[in-house]
Every structure is written in structure tokens, then in C-alpha cells.
Amino acid sequence: MDILYVNTVIQWISNDAKKQNKFERILWICNAREHLYVIDVMGNSFPIRRHYSDVQDAVRENRATLINYTTEKELIVSDQLDKDRLNERDEKWKAIKEIIMDEPDIFIPKYRGILVGQVMSKYGLSRPAVDKYLKDYWKAGKNINGLINNYFNCGNKGKTKRATESMAKRGRPRKITELEPDKVGINVTDDVYKKFMIAKEKYYEGEKLSISASYNKMIRTLFVKEFREENGEEVPIIPDRSELPLEDTFYYHIRRAQQLNPFASLEGRHGERNFNLNIRPKTGSSTKTAYGPGARFQIDATIADVNLRSDYRRSLIIGKPVVYTILDVFSHFIAGLYVGLEGPSYLGAMMAIYNMGIPKIPFCAKFGVHIKEEQWPCHHFPSQFTADRGELLSKNNRNMNNGLNIDIEYAAPFRADWKPIVESYFNVLNKGLIHRLPGADSLKIKKRGEKDKRLDSALTLPEFTALMINKVILHNNSKYIEDYPLDEDMVRAGVRPVPLELWNWGIKKHGGLRHYEEDVLKRNLLPRDKFAEITDRGIIFQGVPYTCDRAEREGWFLKNKVKFYEKKKVQVAYDPRFTSKIFIILNDGREFEECTLIDQEHLVNNEEGNRAWEDYLHIKEVIDIERELHKDKELQEQIKFDYKVANQVELSEMLTEESDEGLSDRQLVKGTRSNRLAEKERNREHEHFFQEAVEVQGKNSEDEQEFINRTAKEFMESIEMINDAKSATNQVSTKSPVSPRLMALQKAQAGRKA
């Protein structure tokens, strides 16, 4: 810039890093632009003369630069000053206003001395006072407010001056001082103030105690000087009250510390999460971050404060459901919904996202709610999601990012305020529906003897889902959004701040939504976090057998001859809503092999042929519970059976040992075949269907009869041989007495037969 002006500030750049740059304000420029007068705004000197061309050359050569510089006094608004300060300013102005107009003589020392002398004699002022008035006026850019006293620089604003032990007691005297002058109290020294801040951080903010409770705990922990024994116990002894700070003093310093740093104090007192959600300043609008429908969706989950019953057995209470909601930031339109028992997890989020991308008429009809297309016209995907760092921060969402081209923005931990629209809807949901239902948890603390709210539950999961769908329809079609930032185009088009109207208008104006076929959604959204096992019974997934054409064609189920990989497990993509089919992922995800149920009458199928996995798992859980309950009876009967077996085996072994005594192994195994035939003949006598005796020989052929006779003869010879051996043994040794255990077992056996 070649042209200089009055009041322009020149910053002279010093080559010495240790020296500060000088700032000079231009006060006067001669008409011929040959010279000018400047004053150092940071110093205390009078104006000096400089050549106009020298300043220009310095600016061109970057030895100086022209800057915008404003002093504090220039920013003062006269209307905000009290009368005393205005009167002080006006008195100073009255003294110098005549001589400051005499330019450039007022800048020349020999003429300035004459003019200042006139003011001194006329108004009775000292020379230093008049010189200060002139300098203040010129430094402030020839502004009359430059004559105002710098009271705002007095008192070391923002800093507290601590007292010392030697100082007199500050503040109002205590009433006790009138009676006992020695008890004047103590000052808040650095040591006392440090204890105040410790109590503030540990007790008031850390333990969430009240001011009074924090003060009491501070006194008993930080001001105790000795302990005494009373009644066998050690008790703390505090000094006299005149040697302690008062609770009012503690309160004053706590509040003052909060005022100096209100954000840190409130965050420490209420916690970061609660501060960000409920206390932080609610400036700005999340709605303005989206240019139209589909620019940004917000997704979040909550556990509904209502207990539900089982749809298959109402006597079973299944607890609280999970509700996932997806809202469009621009229109506050609910684009997707999931109500179930999954989550908060990727499975629940996936269900909500899938619901967002499909037509809503079949979905609503499944729960007995019949709507028109224009009531919920959303089967689209956005450009960006805002979600928690939880269910969508997983490997499952990679396919959604890549296949569906959706950018996911993750909210910081404990920053629910990053998703204010969907978070606020949960509050509306609780007040408008959930807290009115039977089995809803009350916000009040349960009193002793009060009935358990879970026992009041009456709704099943499908019934609650139907109510949620109706609530969504009500919100989308009728909710008037207070404080919605309507722009001029919306007002001109007569658009009301109702989600459906904003949605329809935004689509016409911006059109940022995308649609995908259902098959594409399945491939990119179906969870792939589970594996199926290939066995000879089929492809087993969650205990349910499946098959596919490829498995049967390639012989996957051949026992010990599995041709599909070396391992017998394969990754599966499945739809949690249906159990009728699953998909095996092949060739690094490029192929999906559809698998169907082997047993179409399996428990996983209902009347329509499809049952949700959560329903099947719930039924399976019921069966598992009943099995566990039956385990006691089964174990008891098994113990009885094992006891009978053990007794019978012991009895038989002892009888056998007695009968085999004195016989060799060869003698025992000889004639096994003839023994079997003889035993069979004896069994036939009581195994036939008729009570009267039947002649067995008449029914056998001649060859069979000859074989039987020969075998019987051999059997009799074996018996005679055994008897001879026993007789020979008895001649050598006497027979051992019968075992008492054997007698007891025989008696017990006889009692059971009787």
C-alpha cells in the first residue's frame, strides 16, 4: 500500500529477536505528503516526525507493515459508563480540546510547551497531568474515550489475592467477637484455599456430596489436629470454631471457582456423559447439517422400559425388548425400525437397516397393521450414518461400507448429544407410549412390599411391535416439530414442520436417496459371524440340519469322506428373521449357496413355514429349561437303576464264584454248545403262548431230534464229570462257609421276587 492515512498503525519489524516490535499511530500528514507525525502507542513518549517517503519505503521493503490496531479505550461505549467516569473524562476534554486542534504546532516541542502552559494557568493543572491527557488522547486514535481512567486494569481482575498469617482478619467480624474479642476467626491463606480445592474435587465433585456435607468431611479429614480416646474408642478432635474457616466462606470459594471455570466444574460434578447430554449449551441445530432427505441418518438403540410375555407361553416373562430407530436428520422422519430381543448388537442394527431398505406394507401387515404406501414411503438408503462406537464398529459393517457405499460416522464415547434427534425421540417414545403400558418400569424407586412391575406385564413381542409401528406412523404423519428451522423456500411452498411433509418436499428438491434390491441388501447386510458344521446328518447350523444341491451333488455328507475343504466348518450368512434357509459363503464371498431345511416339520418352522431365529432360540431355551427341570427326576431314577444293577451283578458274581469253585477253566468252557441247547429246551417250557404242555419232539424233524438227543447225552456226561470233580475236591478240603454278604444279597433278591 503506497497511500498512508491518519490513525493508521505502523508495525516496525525488528531484526533483533530479543526486541519487541514497535507500533506507531499516524497523527497528522502534511498536505504535500512530505512528512508526518506518529506516536508510539506502547510507549510514553511524545509524537515524533518522520518522512512520508521513508515510511513508504519501509513498507515496500517489508521493514514495516500497516496493521489494524484497536486499543481497549476505543471499544468503550459511552452509554455504559457511570456518571462519575463520564464527568472525569469531560473535565479532561474541556482542558485540552482547544490546544489539540492546533496542528501541527501541538506536535512541535517548543510550541507545545507554550500551549500546555496556557492550560496549566487556566485550569490549575500540573504539567505531567496535561502531558498525560494529550498522550492518552493521541494513542486512542484521537478518541475522547482515551481520556477515561484505566480502572478496568486495576485490582488484578480474575486473580485472587491470598491473605497471609500476619494479616488482619478480612471480612465482616463475627458476632462472637463482641463477647470474646480473641475469637476473630482465620483468613483464607494459600494453605486453607488448597484444602478448599481438595474438598471440592474429592467430595463435592467426586463423591457428589452437598456443600454442607463436603464442608463437614473436609473439617474432619483436613483440619483435625489430634485424636483422643473416649469410652475405649479413638475419636478426632477439631480445633475451636474460631480457628476454622466458616461454611459460608467455603461456599463462597467453591462457587467462585465454578464461575471461573464453569464447564470443568459442572462436568466434574455431573460427569462427562450427563454434562454432554443434559447440561451443555444447546447451541446450533443438528438439522442444518443435512441438506435433504438421505444426506444423514442417525441410528441408535434403547432398551424399552416395559416387560413382555412369551408369545408361545404367556406364563413366561421374557423381560424388556430392544428398540432400534433410524431417523432422517433433515426431516426427522423415521426411516427404519426394529423391535426384538437382539442387541444392542450388530444383529439388531442390521435388522433395523434392513427394515429401512424394504417396503413397509408387507412388514406392517405381518403384525396386523395395514397401511398405505404414502403413510410410510421409505425403502431407501442414506449417504451417511451417525452411530455409536458399538454394534456398527465391527467387521460385519465392512460389506455395508463397500457394497452399499455408506459412510458411517461414529459418535465419540458418552456423546449422545452427537445424535440429538434420535435420542430425543426415545424420550417422546417413553412418555407417549411405553410408560403407559402394563409391566412398564416406573421412574420412582420401588418401595418395600410394593408389587413387582414384571408381574403386571401382559403384552407379547408381536403385540408390542404393532404398537410401536402405530407410534411411528403417528410420528411421521402427524408430529408437529417445534422450533424446526424452516427456510424461505419451505415457507413459500407452505411446508409445515411435519416429518412426512418435510420428507416429500425434500425429495423433490434434493433427491439424495438410494435404493437397492432385496437380494443385494441380504448379501451385504446378513451377519457372517457364525459357522455351520458339515456332518453326515447335513449342514448343522444352530442345531438345525440344512442341505443344498451342491452338497448332495459333491457328496459332502459322506461319512469320513468330506470333500469340502479340509475342515468341516464353513462360514454362513443368515437372516435372523427366518430359519427356512441359510447361505454358505464360497469363493471368498463371491458366491452364496442357498441351503434349505432337511426336515420341513422341524421345530424351526411355524404354520407359514418361517420362524424368526430369536423365536426358535426362545423356544429352544424353554425346552432346555424343562430338560434341566427333568434332570433331577432322571438322575434319581438312574441312581436307583444303577443300584439295582450293581446289586444284581454282585449277587451273580458271588453265586458264580461259589458254583465254579474247584473247576478248571477247561471244565467250565467245555460243552458250551450242548449247554445252550439244553437251556433253550428248558426256556421253551415257559415261553410258549399256550398254558397246556406241548410235546416238543413231535414238532422236530428226525435229524433235529437226533441232534437234540446227542446233545442231551453230552450235556448229561458233562454234569456227571462236574459232580465227580466236586466230590474229589470235597474229600481233600472242607467247603468254605457261605459269605454273609451273599446271604444278604440272596435275601434281598428273594424279597424283590416276592
Please state, for a pLDDT cut of 90, what percent of the chain lies above it. Answer: 8
More confident site: 166 or 367? 367
User: Would you say 388 and 368 are in contact if contact means Cβ atoms under 8 Å apart?
Assistant: no
Q: What is the rounded CA–CA span in Å between residue 743 and residue 651? A: 9
Instruction: Render pLDDT for 29-62 as a digit per residue (tens, 0 to 9).
Output: 998 888 999 999 888 899 999 999 999 888 888 8
Q: Is the pLDDT of residue 664 over 50?
A: yes
Q: What is the rounded CA–CA span in Å between residue 98 and residue 102? A: 8
- Residues 6 or more apart whose CB falls under 8 angstroms from that of 333 comprise 293, 327, 378, 476, 499, 500, 502, 503
CA 38 and chain centroid, separation = 63
Q: Cα-flanking dihedrals φ and ψ of residue 284, to 5°?
A: 80, 180
Q: What is the predicted pLDDT for the residue at 455?
A: 84
Q: What is the rounded CA–CA span in Å between residue 643 and residue 622? A: 32
User: Would you say 651 and 746 are in contact if contact means Cβ atoms under 8 Å apart?
Assistant: yes
- Name 41's bridge partners: none
Q: What is the rounded CA–CA span in Å between residue 519 and residue 20? A: 71
User: Would you say 491 and 507 are in contact if contact means Cβ atoms under 8 Å apart?
Assistant: no
Residue corresponding to grid cell 399256550? 690
Burial of 302 by CB count in 10 Å (0-12 exposed, 13-18 middle, 19+ buried)? buried
Q: What is the rounded CA–CA span in Å between residue 543 and residue 557? A: 16
Q: What is the predicted pLDDT for the residue at 732?
A: 43
Most confident of 265-274, 286-295, 417-426, 481-490: 481-490
Residue corresponding to grid cell 429246551? 681
Q: Is the pLDDT of residue 560 over 70?
A: no
Q: What is the rounded CA–CA span in Å between residue 88 and residue 91? A: 5
- Percent of the chain that is helix, strand, coil (3-state, to 5): 45, 15, 40
Residue corresponding to grid cell 512541535? 108
Q: Is the pLDDT of residue 714 over 90?
A: no
CA 199 and chain centroid, separation = 31
Q: What is the predicted pLDDT for the residue at 133?
A: 92
Q: What is the predicted pLDDT for the residue at 698?
A: 47
User: Would you say 69 and 132 are in contact if contact means Cβ atoms under 8 Å apart?
Assistant: no
Q: What is the mean pLDDT of residues 126-149?
A: 89
Mean pLDDT of the chain: 77
Nearest to 542 by CA among 347, 323, 312, 355: 347
| Alpha carbon distance, N-terminus to C-terminus of the chain | 128
Helix axes 420-432, 461-478, angle to 10 degrees: 120
User: Would you say 330 and 501 are in contact if contact means Cβ atoms under 8 Å apart?
Assistant: no
Instruction: Render pLDDT for 480-492 as a digit per residue (tens, 0 to 9).
Output: 888 788 888 888 8
Q: What is the rounded CA–CA span in Å between residue 71 and residue 150? A: 12
Q: What is the predicted pLDDT for the residue at 48?
A: 93
Nearest to 323 by CA among 409, 423, 406: 423
User: Would you say 11 and 38 are in contact if contact means Cβ atoms under 8 Å apart?
Assistant: no
The C-alpha cell at 158 is 480474575
At 521, the pLDDT band (50, 70, 90 cuts) reads: confident
Beta strand 407-410 with 384-387: parallel, antiparallel or unpaired? parallel
pTM over 0.85: no
- Residues 6 or more apart whose CB falls under 8 angstroms from that of 438 comprise 456, 457, 458, 459
Peptide bond into 344 cis (omega under 30): yes
